[in-house]
Structure 1
Amino acid sequence: MENRKIEVDITGMTCKHCAVSIESLLKNKEGITVASVNHESGKGEITFNGQMTTDEDIISTINSTKKYQARGTSSVLNAPAEPTFYDLILIGGGSSAFSAAITAHELGLSILMVNAGLPFGGTCVNVGCVPSKILIRAGETAYHASHSNFDGINPYGASIDFAKVIREKTEMVSRLQQKKYMDIVKDFDNFRMVEGWAEFLDTKTIVVNGETKYSALKFIIATGATTNIPNIEGLQEVGYLTNVSLFELEEKPESITIMGAGYIGLEIAMAYSRLGVKVRIIEFTDRVLRSQAPDISQELQKQMQGEGIAVLPNVRAQKFEKKDSSILIHCKDPDGKEITLVEPGHLVIATGTRPNTSKLGLDKIGLETTKNGHIVVNAMMETNVSGIYAVGDVINTPAYVYTAATEGKMAVENAFKGAGSKADYSSLPWVVFTDPQVAGVGLDEVEAAALGLPFEVSKMPLTEVPRSQAAKDTRGFIKLIRDTQTDKLIGARVVAPEGGELIMELTLAVKYGITVNELAKTFHPYLTLSEGIKLAAIAFGKDIATLSCCAS
């Protein structure tokens, strides 16, 4: 094969999405094996089979877009072929894969990262944590410009340029994707990134896009997860959005109906409602955030309904159909009666996720998965096939970016150093970024009861916390769960404005076996929200109402 490489200057690019679009365009062209485009430098490098295409044809392909214009700056004949054998092949390009790549680089390994679907960086930076939190903060800014807790302050509201908010989000995502992912690995020796779908041929070999074969000593599968689309009649025909496509809409929707009231659905609902979109949530179970205790669900549902978000629990969609420009949602209400909801805007699916395993050819190598498609691993991230590990959302561990990154590092160290490290999520903190936020660590009272543990609960409403009183914002509570035999904190739940900022103190208490008595005796600054933790600890033995300020 006659390998050639051409370097080009490209004008017209404004963001990472432009570069990705050009790369995708070129990679669909026969003969091109590698296409790498950087929107910041305005340069591209394309490796291709000179017998199948030419420099001029490649430049013409880019120029045919009208939006982008390219000119060649150099061309190399007999460019060296890329290696096909590596110490480690990473299948996936999200946070766990990048964490694994960084660790593998530190060990001096040769690495191939094969990624498809979302751009490199994966869910968190491109379509998950980062964009959603940007939009949540934008929504909070608009909300607080229109709402005051103080009678003496009358806010005048906010003028919302929805398209500009979305563009700001897109630009920030692009910057972070470049800075925290692409730039981190750009100078790694013996490291290559390839876009395409990987499929196992045997336990040592994959084929990418059905064409190029690669082999390795070890593999780490980090293909993540995607929205689980329910099999409901008419859904495909009427069209729907997920968080991926919703976050790209620059024209503000008139309204949205969200299917699903888990944390993704609730965060979307609150952000978009505050940005001026009429929002309705349909949930087939009895309450929002069904994974948590009922008092948390009640607190969130009360807040959302108070902001005008329609919440319909125990409603199950049966069929979708299009009528004019609206979507008809045929449902059964809590009494089993058939009802029809009309959505003039968009339908958003937020009914959980499913692991991306269907295209990997796992059946060819006998790799074990669960009935839901998750790859089965042990605590060291090992699959049942020697030399193959799996990490992140593709396995059935807590699905957070920080757990995925830890698993990626752990898998490399176990695979190549024999470290024997094991995952322990008994003191894992988590946050749902609604308003009020929901945060937790360890066990709640339902889980403790299921395990048969001797426990006691202290629940401190924020109406009793001086900081919340001063802010005139007493939404929520702090709930501590202690082992009555040892007095150690075994779990906590916080529902509060910025409640996520409290969870690390409670995480350290659970992790290191700090007793409730020690929490109660520890100094907490007066008029901070964290003082509520101290008060909740004291409340195990005393009536807070009988104490003066700062008393213990």
Structure 2
Amino acid sequence: MSDYSCDALIIGSGQAGNPLATALAEAGRRVILVEEAHLGGSCLNYGCVPTKTLLASATRAHEIRQAAQLGIDSASAPRVDMPAVVGRKDELLTKSRRNLAEELGSSHPNITLLRGHARFEAARRVRVQAGEHGETHQVTAHEIFINVGTHATTPDIPGLAEAGFLTTTSLLDIQEVPEHLLIIGGGYIGLEFGQMFRRFGSQVTIIETGDQVLEHEDDDVCKVLQNLLTEKAGIEFLLEAQTHHVSRNAAGQYTLSVKTKAGERRLHGSHLLVATGRTPNTDNLGLEKTKIKLDDKGYIQVNARLQTSVRGVYALGDVHGGPQFTHISYDDFRVVRDNLLHRGHRSAKQRPLPYCVFTDPQLGRIGLSESQAKEKGVPYRVACLDVKRIARAQHTGQRDGFWKVLVGDDDRILGAAILSPEGGEVMTMLQLAMMGRLRYQQLENMVIAHPAWAEGLNVLWKDLK
């Protein structure tokens, strides 16, 4: 067994841990970074990078099918080669992992990378085990940063474990187009994978326990998005539906028994994806040997500076709960970096929480939703714009969706939901306006290049009272 001591021990090579290791090393601190699996965390390995790479292939197949609407005669329907689609994704991941390993290794002599599972033996002492019979290291650190992320939640459904199922990680490596993909879970992950595989050629059914998809969004946004995915994409939705049994026959076909408001349904499919949320990776960290506090779901409790209940121990990224997005994890790094290295007073609370659901059209969200404004008693007005009224939409034929922006009594923007082509980019423009405390009239009268999508910012406010 090898013994190490360091200034900073970072457990987990995710979107917060990697840049923090580099920043601390460049500041002269001795850093040990522990990673049990692939470098890069969820975003690189089974989140944004691989899913959006596959989405690009699905989008291209869809565009080819729709080419005739723009006067382009495609000789035949596209043939989806799933091994080639997955191979393109794998090639990108291999390159990204190699570049990251080089960056964290040879480029920074103050960083030592240890491979294995980390488990606390005391508040500042961790044992790292490389596999079941691999080398063991004991690390003592002045400060410890936990960045271990989450894993897919397995719901307690009779027969599910015995039948087997796909997770959002395993589905990324599938070598065939499913004939009929059943998806349990109507959150953003279920919607993105549902539309993706519908465009690859699968029949898709999404089962959701709530009364709408995307449970935290306004009703009108969810209704329009669901209708588009049903009418334009051909996805079947079962809402307020409870899966109470799963079975699989000898031929590999699934049968789901589902309770709905209309009665019992039996669904049959070739593949089953479970996308019902995430669970923090805290159950095997040895936290019981420390005084680190967890909430009732197993997430590590932190304060505004991301400090745990143990002095000198921090939690970054998805493992402390809250919105689970790459950009939020990266901002956790900035909070810790500025407070530790720059004597800052940066807080992880009350920060903007932009995000984008990468369906087509995209849903970009920032600030207050209408339901949140009502709940908080914040006065507001609503400006809405159908995408089809934007010149760019008419030129491209991408006419689906609408923009919805909340404006306060002072004429400043409170929040926005942009269900639109380039919805994430338009949302970010509104976020910049919010950061600059611009009034909506300044956007209404701004000179915007024609015919960009952003030109909708000139006409969005027309019916605002």
Equivalent residue number for residue 435 of structure 2: 511
Q: Which string of whole-angstrom CA distances, capped at 9 and with x for unpartnered residues, describes residues 409-454 of structure 1?
A: 4224434554332125543321110000000111111111111111
> Which residue number in structure 2 is paired with residue 199 of structure 1?
119
Q: Describe the shift of the 1:149–1:313 C-alpha distance in structure 2 as closer, same or farther (beyond 3 A).
A: farther
The aligned counterpart of 1:408 is 333
Q: Separation in 2 of the partners of 1:518 and 1:104?
A: 42
Paired position in structure 1 for 2:261: 334
Query: Which stretches of structure 1, 4 residues or more, deviate above 3 A after TM superposition?
Result: 148-156, 415-418
The aligned residue for residue 304 of structure 2 is: 379
- Counterpart selection for 1:499 from 423, 427, 432: 423
SS at match of 2:314: strand
Match of 1:445 among 361, 370, 384: 370
Tell which deviates more after alignment, 214-223 or 251-260: 251-260
Change (3 A) 1:254 1:425: farther
The answer to whether structure 1 residue 302 and structure 2 residue 302 are counterparts is no
Counterparts of 2:178 and 2:86 in 1: how far apart (Å)? 12
**1:470-489 correspondence runs (5 A):** 470-484=395-409, 486-489=410-413
* Structure 1 CA distance for aligned equivalents of residues 434 and 73 of structure 2: 43
Counterpart secondary structure, 1:375: coil
Residue 351 of structure 1 corresponds to which residue in structure 2? 276
- Give secondary structure in 2 for the equivalent of 1:145: helix
The residue type paired with residue 163 of structure 1 is P
How far apart, in 1, do the equivalents of 2:302 and 2:381 lie? 34
Displacement of 1:251 in angstroms is: 2.6
After superposition, where does 1:276-291 map in structure 2 within 5 Å?
Answer: 276-291=201-216
Q: Counterparts of 2:70 and 2:12 in 1: how far apart (Å)? A: 53
Contact 1:218 1:415 (8 Å CA) reproduced:
no
Instruction: Give me the whole-angstrom Cα distance separating, in 1, the residues matched to 2:217 and 2:96.
Output: 32
Change (3 A) 1:353 1:363: same
Alignment coverage as a number of residue pairs:
456
Task: Please give the secondary structure, in 1, of the residue aligned with 2:193.
Answer: helix
Residue matched to 2:103 = 184
Relative contact order, CA 8 A, sep 6+: which one is greater? 2
The aligned residue for residue 142 of structure 1 is 61
Match of 1:23 in 2: none
Q: Structure 2 unaligned runs (5+)?
A: none
Contact in 2 for aligned 1:113/1:194 (Cα 8 Å): yes
Q: 1:95 to 1:140 in 2, by over 3 A?
A: same
| Whole-Å separation in 2 of the counterparts to 1:162 and 1:323 | 25
Secondary structure of the corresponding residue to residue 368 of structure 1:
coil
* Contact 1:427/1:510 (8 A) holds in 2: no
Does the CA-based 8 Å contact 1:99-1:406 persist in structure 2? no
Residue number in structure 2 paired with 1:105: 25
**Deviation per residue, 1:349-394 (Å, 9 max, x gap):** 1101111111112222111111111111111111111000001010
Which has the greater radius of gyration?
1
Amino acid corresponding to residue 271 of structure 1 in structure 2: M
Task: Identify the residue that residue 43 of structure 2 maps to in structure 1.
Answer: 124
Deviations, residues 22-77 of structure 1 (Å, cap 9, x unaligned): xxxxxxxxxxx8xxxxxxxxxxxxxxxxxxxxxxxxxxxxxxxxxxxxxxxxxxxx
Q: Is the 8 A contact 1:167 1:250 kept in 2?
A: no
**C-alpha distance in 2 between matches for 1:169 and 1:421:** 37
**Alignment partner of 1:533 is 2:451:** no
Tell whether the 8 Å contact from 1:519 to 1:537 is kept in structure 2 after alignment.
Answer: no
2:140 maps to 1:215: yes
Amino acid at match of 1:523: V
Which stretch shifts more, 507-516 or 294-303?
A: 294-303
Counterpart code for 1:476? G
Letter in 1 for 2:411: D
Of 246, 251, 255, 1:320 maps to 246
Match of 1:172 in 2: 92
Letter in 2 for 1:517: Q
Query: How do residues 25-44 of structure 1 correspond to structure 2 at under 5 angstroms?
Result: none
Instruction: Name the amino acid aligned to 2:247.
Output: E
Percent of matched pairs sharing the same residue: 29
Q: Deviation digits for residues 502-530 of structure 1, max 9, x if unmatched?
A: 12210111122111111111112222211
Whether the 8 Å contact between 2:243 and 2:256 is mirrored in structure 1 is yes
Secondary structure at the residue paired with 1:95?
A: coil
CA contact (8 A) 1:100 1:405 kept: no
**1:78 alignment partner in structure 2:** none
Q: Who is 1:466 aligned against?
A: 391
**Aligned equivalents of 1:319, 1:397: Cα separation in 2:** 31
3-state SS of paired residue (1:236):
helix
Q: Could you say which residue in structure 2 is the equivalent of 1:48?
A: none
Quick one: which amino acid aligns to residue 310 of structure 1?
A: E
Given that residues 82 and 176 in structure 2 are in contact (C-alpha distance below 8 angstroms), is that contact kept between their aligned partners in structure 1?
yes
Give the distance between the partners of 2:266 and 2:384, measured in 1 at CA: 40
Distance, in Å, in 1 between the alignment partners of 2:349 and 2:463 is: 30
CA gap 1:251/1:148 in 2 versus in 1, 3 angstroms: closer
Distance of 1:512 and 1:178 partners within structure 2: 39
Question: Partner of 2:9 in structure 1?
Answer: 89
Shift of 1:149: 7.4
Distance 1:415 1:426 in 2: 19
Q: Deviations over 1:232-274 (max 9, x none)?
A: 1111100011111110112332221111011111111111111
The answer to whether the Cα contact below 8 Å between 2:384 and 2:461 also exists between their aligned partners in 1 is: no
Separation (CA, whole Å) in 1 of partners of 2:11 and 2:121: 14
Partner Cα distance (2:311, 2:341) in 1 = 13
* Contact 1:235-1:320 within 8 A present in 2 as well: yes
1:157 maps to 2:157: no
